[in-house]
Chain A
Amino acid sequence: MNAPVILDRRRVLAGGGALIVSFSLTDAFAQDQSAPVASRPGSLKGAPFLDSWIRIDADGSITVFTGKAELGQGFKTAFQQIAAEELDVAFESLQVITADTHRTANEGYTSGSHSMQDSGTAIQNAAAQVRELLVAEAARRLDLPAENLRTENGAVISPDGRRLSYGDLVAADMLHVQAQPKSKLKDPTTFKVMGQPVPRVDIPAKVTGGVAYVQDMRLPGMVHARAVRPPSYGAQLTECDTSAIEKMPGVVKVVRDGNFLAVVAEKEFQAIKAMNALSAAAKWKETPSLPKQDDLLRVLTSLPSQDSTIFQQSDPSAVGQKTIEAVYTRPYQAHGSIGPSCAVAQLVDDAMTVWTHTQGVYPDRQGIAEMLHMPPASVRLIHVEGSGCYGHNGADDAAADAALIARALPGTPVRVQWMREQEHAWEPFGPAMVTRLKASLDGNGAISDWNFEVWSNTHSMRPGGAGSMLAAQHMAQPFAVPAPKPLPLPEGGGDRNAIPIYKFPNAHVVHHFIPAMPLRISAMRSLGAYHNVFSIESFMDELAAAAGADPVEFRLKHLDDPRGREVIEKAAQGFGWQKGQKAPQDRGFGFAFARYKNLAAYCAIATEVEVNRETGRPRLVRAVAAVDSGQVVNPDGLINQIEGAIVQSMSWTLYESVTFDDTRITSIDWQTYPILRFNSVPERIEVHIINRPGQPFLGSGETGQGPAAASIANAIASATGKRLRDLPLTRKRIKDAIDA
């Protein structure tokens, strides 16, 4: 780990432009060598060489590379399953290397439920094509037609039982060829590893105290740093006498660069004590700049916005008879990682290495290189797991902190971990949002006209440039925060899932993009889909009630998509949903559905919620979900994601909002930003999977967030007869609604 820059063979070859392919192999791939890049599957588009994904050494050991970062979703295990399946090798015989700017392809961010679609698809196709190359080579050596050969357990086998292992077959640069657009993928009915609930490869170390996280790294000579963050956005450091702090036990250095302030000590607790002293010594000039927390509806809808109609459909023959309207709001919400962000950095011979739990090693490298005025090639970012992030939390900022401090201590590895209050106050929050809906029902109780407006900031201020990182913003020569941009459709940001999946004769959807960001915000799991789906699916229930229709039947009436219909039916059936059935006393049933981004996994969730009418306290009793995520690789991993989405979304939906006064963020720990605890965990959660063998992988990490929120809101409405439209649906709001 002390040699930060390693140029491996593949990189040297790529850099030198060498492309050495033996004749037999070019023959094997002769037809399509110049295929257009865009037609390659998944991330093979951007990184077409097979050996960017799969390396086989002469001893037969196989390494799989992914540019995505394992964040606790378990895809490292899923990728290993995919590669083992298509290569025909034992699961245990593979090793998966995740995001590292010196080893893996640039797959951008690990976000948007893209890992399976992008990287999983690339690995599947690369593995299949590598297997084909190995078979072709064996055919050449054995002088047999390739179709007479089969593969098994890391070897090609001839009809007469001769066995050539992959290690024997692989030649120096055999895999350094560009992928073909099409692969001979295995028939899903023959899968041995894919589709199985293979235990996660990372769990054993995590439950036995092994080194599992960047927080656990201990490099020789490593020191510990803590930053002292400003007390509020834009605060200026006016005075800081560091002389006493520099004399404190163990203190190695105080680093000050403009408003960036940090202290380094030999031991971690010494660094914390010094940080506290430094914090007390620092004097800041603060400027009140925050909006009124209780008035977000007015704040958001009155800020200047760039408005665009993102969907328009008209059919004048459809005429409404009854019209209803509703406004829904979402507060700022926090990622709230349990482990505050952490990074380790080391500067050796003008090369900076940063070990980080960032979701994007390449974009983050660009930002850090820019901040340090170093060439990107001299900066290496290596992903190491951290605490779950659920989007853009403090990870990138901690990486920048570590790099900036490590630059001041050449040769010495520096570990920085944020404090709880720093994570809570400084992470970029999930943006507050407002939606306004208006719809009409025709004489048959069908929706004839649908109007949807959403007001939102962007949902990504992720690095690329240095200006996205706190350390770079706070330096004496600061980098400006880049201008926010709306994320483009079809995936969208604030308008993610704003376009209804249902079929309405008339529909009009407007995105009010708000460039001004009163609070620091960025990507949080599912982006705008959480609030848009909450709004659409709550409103569908309001319309169903107005039409006197059953909520499940009402959704099906407006939905053509057969996979969506099947998911809805499956969840309803699993829940025991019956038209017109009454929930037990003080309980309600709720239902909601969405297809994430209208192009990823389908998810429907039915819930039963109990409301204590005296206190207003809601309790999720049970949830039943159905999910269609395309071809399933690891069913238990998928179930784990959906269970987690339901529980996390329930916490967002019932409890969570960032609080602030006119100057400071005031929700700075778990007392002031309470989240779900065990006394509110449901009695049971069931997840039903609809597997689609041979179909593309659909991302599933975020598909549950929106439906869970709306399903719970609908169940509360069913239990109380009162519709709540402002998130979170707190005990007080429910109680006030009951008493109103």
Chain B
Amino acid sequence: MIALKVNGLYHEIDADPDTPLLYVLRDEIKLNAAKFGCGLGQCGSCTVMVDGKAVLSCVTPLLLLEGKQVTTLEGLGTIEAPAPIQRAFMEEQAAQCGYCIAGMMMRAQALLQRNSKPTDDEIRAELEPHLCRCGTHMRILRAVHRASRLMDTADASPTVHGRAQ
């Protein structure tokens, strides 16, 4: 058993220690946002935050996470009460198929938590590990800029949980 705090809730996880976090989130905790894209750390669609930092959950084994705080997109807000980053992606209509988007949003959230006013170049550099095949990049960039502005005017902290402690 490994204890893990995910989106503010403690979970005792009964899985092999080498199990990547991605499968713990999807299979054990039944969360949807973190996606399997490559299992190789090449595409970013599995990205979540661990202690406020963006992490590729498909290559991060459970054994490294004892006592850590994991935040997924579900932990930032809900459809009814979306976090600024979620509102921004809705307002910019920053998705086509959207499969890559949850991972992008988590890395963008981690960036905005440590740098609330990133430049365009900083956002592009930060999102470099992420692939989008639909070509929604322009909208994703606009959405991150918008999230930065929204966080300025709203409470920057996520609605539910997940702010780096």
Contacts and interface: CB of A to CB of B under 8 A. Distances in A.
A123 B14 CA distance: 50
A636 B138 CA distance: 13
A208 B36 contact: no
Nearest to A637: B93
Interface residues of B, number: 55
B19 A269 contact: yes
A207 B90 contact: yes
B127 A208 contact: no
Interface in A630-658: 636, 640-641, 643-648, 650-651
A388 B39 contact: no
B60 interface: no
B154 interface: no
Interface in A660-684: 669-671, 675-679, 681-682, 684
A669 B42 CA distance: 8
Nearest to A646: B135
Contacts of A684: 138
Interface in B105-157: 105, 124-125, 127-128, 130-139, 141
Contact of B37 (A202, A269, A272, A339): A339
B125 to A, nearest CB: 7
Contacts of A388: 96-97, 99, 133-134
B128 A679 contact: yes
A209 B136 contact: no
Contact of A338 (B45, B77, B90): B45
Contact of A640 (B30, B33, B43, B136): B136
A640 B94 CA distance: 9
A203 B73 contact: no
A386 to B, nearest CB: 8
A200 B139 CA distance: 14
A681 B105 contact: no
Interface residues of A, number: 64
Contact of A420 (B40, B96, B137, B141): B40
A643 B136 contact: yes
B72 A209 contact: yes
B98 interface: yes
Given A338-B131, A648-B135, A675-B133, A206 B98 contact: yes
Contact of A385 (B97, B130, B136): B97
B125 A679 contact: yes
B26 to A, nearest CB: 7
B123 to A, nearest CB: 8
A336 B93 CA distance: 23
Nearest to A70: B97
B56 interface: no
A680 to B, nearest CB: 9
B163 interface: no
A213 interface: yes
A232 B115 CA distance: 48
Contact of B99 (A208, A213, A675, A676): A213
B95 A419 contact: no
Contacts of A675: 131, 133
A285 B142 CA distance: 51
Contacts of B30: 218
A339 B35 contact: yes
A197 B14 CA distance: 47
Contacts of B43: 338, 420, 670
Contacts of B97: 71-72, 338, 385-388
Interface string B20-54: 10010011001111011111101101000000000
The listed residue with most B CB atoms (<10 A of its CB), out of A207, A267, A340, A684, is A207
B79 A205 contact: yes
Nearest to A72: B97
A526 interface: no
A122 to B, nearest CB: 24
Given A210-B32, A338-B45, A202 B98 contact: yes
Interface string A70-81: 011110000000
A215 interface: yes
Interface string A210-226: 11110110100000100
A339 B32 contact: no
A390 interface: yes
A212 B36 contact: no
A337 interface: yes
The listed residue with most B CB atoms (<10 A of its CB), out of A267, A269, A338, A419, is A338
Nearest to B98: A206
B15 A212 contact: no
A73 B96 contact: yes
A559 interface: no
B109 to A, nearest CB: 12
Interface in A342-394: 385-388, 390
B127 A678 contact: yes
Contacts of B42: 420, 669-671
A607 to B, nearest CB: 14
A645 B135 contact: yes
Given A213-B99, A388-B134, 12 more contacts: A72-B134, A207-B86, A207-B89, A207-B90, A207-B101, A387-B35, A417-B36, A420-B39, A669-B38, A669-B40, A677-B131, A682-B138
Nearest first, the 8 closest Cβ-Cβ pairs linking A and B are A72-B97, A647-B135, A388-B97, A209-B33, A644-B135, A206-B98, A209-B74, A387-B99
30 contacts: A72-B95, A202-B98, A203-B93, A203-B98, A204-B90, A206-B98, A206-B101, A207-B102, A208-B33, A208-B74, A208-B77, A209-B31, A209-B74, A209-B102, A212-B32, A216-B32, A249-B16, A267-B15, A268-B26, A269-B15, A269-B20, A269-B23, A272-B23, A338-B131, A339-B35, A647-B136, A647-B137, A648-B133, A681-B124, A681-B138
